[in-house]
């Protein structure tokens, strides 16, 4: 099992400090934890960079009230904004069968099952972490791992407004475009809180009983 903590809406850097603090606690034996949060507009760069895929200057981002942050997660450039559900799992993976690859598979499965609960069929795209609907990226995944404890995590698009993605080439992939649960359902009434509740339930179920594919992912 894991503790689920809803941070509400919180600036990116504040949530990062909370992650770092909990990371140390989990490393020393505290329970695995999943933080769920929405962020004000922010563009984040992964360990593989991403500035070359940013379409606005840093000055223009600042003028529009959009933060720019370099991170310690894997992957390339992405963005967060109200209407997107972000999950930060602080989880010990050193003793989990399947290791890091198995845990990424588990996060993807969490999102796939969450989407299914709202009538949306999503899937993996071989060679590209995350959750997809055709070439539409529903959820990005970028983890950091330190001393076999994860941080950073996933970003699931819920609302219809995906305009912040216009500022970037999504994950540095020219053929990818963002999509969301609301767009796929053609339902503007879907709220991140509804999705948050389902996502928490699915994560708890999978962390307690990982699917066979996740256990075998590192083989």
DSSP 31: P
Cα–Cα dist 187/118, whole Å: 10
- pLDDT tens column, 77-104: 899 999 999 999 999 998 788 899 999 9
- pLDDT tens column, 42-62: 999 988 777 888 999 999 999
139 is catalytic: no
Cα–Cα dist 82/163, whole Å: 11
- Whichever domain contains 92, its CATH number is 3.30.930.10
Residues in the chain: 219
Q: Which domain holds residue 193?
A: 3-216
How many other C-beta atoms are found inside a 10 Å radius of the C-beta of residue 48?
13
CB 66 within 8 A of CB 179: no
**Strand order of the sheet with strand 78-80?**
67-70, 42-45, 78-80
**Catalytic residue from among 79, 139, 171, 199:** 171
The pTM of this model reads 0.93
How many other C-beta atoms are found inside a 10 Å radius of the C-beta of residue 86?
23
Beta-carbon contacts of 13 under 8 Å, excluding residues fewer than 6 positions away, are 67, 69
User: Mean pLDDT across the stretch 192-203?
Assistant: 96
Number of structural domains, the chain? 1
Q: Residue 217 has what pLDDT?
A: 55
User: Mean pLDDT across the stretch 137-149?
Assistant: 95
Instruction: Mean pLDDT check: name the lowest of 70-74, 149-153, 191-195, 215-219.
Output: 215-219
More confident site: 213 or 211: 211
């Amino acid at each position: 099992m894991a503790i689920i903590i809803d941070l509400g809406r919180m600036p990116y850097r504040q949530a990062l400090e909370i992650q770092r603090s909990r990371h140390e606690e989990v490393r020393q034996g505290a329970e695995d934890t999943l933080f769920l949060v929405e962020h004000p507009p922010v563009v984040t760069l992964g360990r593989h960079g991403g500035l070359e895929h940013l379409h606005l200057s840093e000055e223009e981002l600042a003028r529009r009230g959009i933060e720019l942050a370099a991170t310690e997660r894997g992957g390339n450039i992405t963005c967060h904004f109200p209407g997107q559900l972000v999950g930060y799992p602080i989880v010990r993976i050193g003793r989990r069968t399947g290791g890091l690859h198995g845990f990424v598979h588990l996060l993807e499965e969490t999102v796939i099952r969450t989407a299914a609960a709202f009538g949306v069929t999503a899937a993996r795209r071989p060679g590209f972490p995350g959750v997809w609907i055709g070439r539409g990226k529903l959820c990005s995944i970028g983890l950091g791992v330190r001393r076999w404890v994860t941080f950073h995590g996933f970003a699931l698009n819920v609302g219809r407004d995906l305009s912040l993605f216009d500022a970037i080439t999504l994950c540095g992939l020219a053929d990818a475009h963002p999509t969301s649960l609301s767009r796929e359902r053609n339902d503007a009434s879907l709220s991140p809180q509804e999705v948050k509740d389902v996502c928490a339930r699915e994560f708890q179920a999978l962390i307690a009983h990982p699917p066979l594919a996740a256990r075998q992912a590192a083989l």
